[in-house]
Amino acid sequence: MHVEAFTFNSFMTNCYLCYDDGEAVLIDASCASDAERQEVLRVIDENDLELRHLLLTHAHVDHIFGCQFFESRFDMTFKAHEAAVPFIERADEQAEAFGVEVEPPTVPTTFLAEGDTVSFGTVTLDVLHTPGHSPDSISFVHSDSQQAVTGDVLFQNSIGRTQGLPETSRSQLLNSITEKLLPLGDEMRIYPGHGPETTIGRERHQNPFVKEALGGTDEGVGWRGPTGAGR
């Protein structure tokens, strides 16, 4: 599975175009401008890809920019966790809270839950429900190539934000990391919703929040994470 990463909009949100054998999925479109949309379209054209699914790791406003554009332009299915629906319905409110504007996407046509799969090309992605940062947070895992797109759950040296956002739970988030992501194994490459890609092994050994959750050292106490991370 090829993964093309883009970083878009004022929240510096990562968008991933994953493709294999001429077919693609777009995870978290995140495109807030025409230039950003064109960037994704160029990669689709250059690789002659058929877009099969539009996927959301979760429906926070920074991840749903551009969904409406791709949804209306391509014949594909829009999939997210069912708990994304109220967030999409309140997209205007979310945008207003952050002082931005968003074209609200239509509600996803198919819901994904723990244990579901998403297929394109020769790839099958496994869906994990990884709530805490938001109730609808899901992760997409490709075991064969050891790659996972995990949204705002686990970042390089940080974790998803659980303050100042509705329906968050820090303990649930840490549980998602320790019970769902860490078992994927140290070699698993993680493509997060913000910041650079990382691996489970790196975060298990260096991420102060993960170490704290695992009951290791107290190194992480008081560490507040990089500015802007965790949206």
Site residues, Zn ion (CB under 5 A): 60, 62, 152, 193, 231
| Shortest distance, position 190 Cβ to Zn ion, whole Å | 15
Query: Which region, left, alpha or beta, applies to residue 30 given φ > 0 means left and ψ of -120 to 50 means alpha?
Result: left
| Shortest distance, position 144 Cβ to Zn ion, whole Å | 27
| Shortest distance, position 194 Cβ to Zn ion, whole Å | 6
Q: Which is nearer to Zn ion, 121 or 193 (CB)?
A: 193
| Shortest distance, position 160 Cβ to Zn ion, whole Å | 6
Q: Which residue is nearest to Zn ion (CB)?
A: 60
| Shortest distance, position 77 Cβ to Zn ion, whole Å | 22
Cα–Cα distance measured from residue 88 to residue 93, given in angstroms and rounded to the nearest whole number: 10
Q: Which is nearer to Zn ion, 49 or 207 (CB)?
A: 207
Q: Which is nearer to Zn ion, 13 or 68 (CB)?
A: 13
Cα angle 108-147-166, degrees, rounded to a multiple of 5: 45
Radius of gyration of the chain from Cα atoms?
A: 16
Cα–Cα distance measured from residue 166 to residue 86, given in angstroms and rounded to the nearest whole number: 11
Q: Which is nearer to Zn ion, 53 or 60 (CB)?
A: 60
Q: Which is nearer to Zn ion, 166 or 185 (CB)?
A: 166
CA-nearest of 100, 60, 51 to 80 is 60
Q: Which is nearer to Zn ion, 56 or 210 (CB)?
A: 56
| Shortest distance, position 154 Cβ to Zn ion, whole Å | 12
CB atoms closer than 10 angstroms to residue 145 = 15
> Which three-class secondary structure state does DSSP give residue 88?
helix
Query: Which region, left, alpha or beta, applies to residue 173 given φ > 0 means left and ψ of -120 to 50 means alpha?
Result: alpha
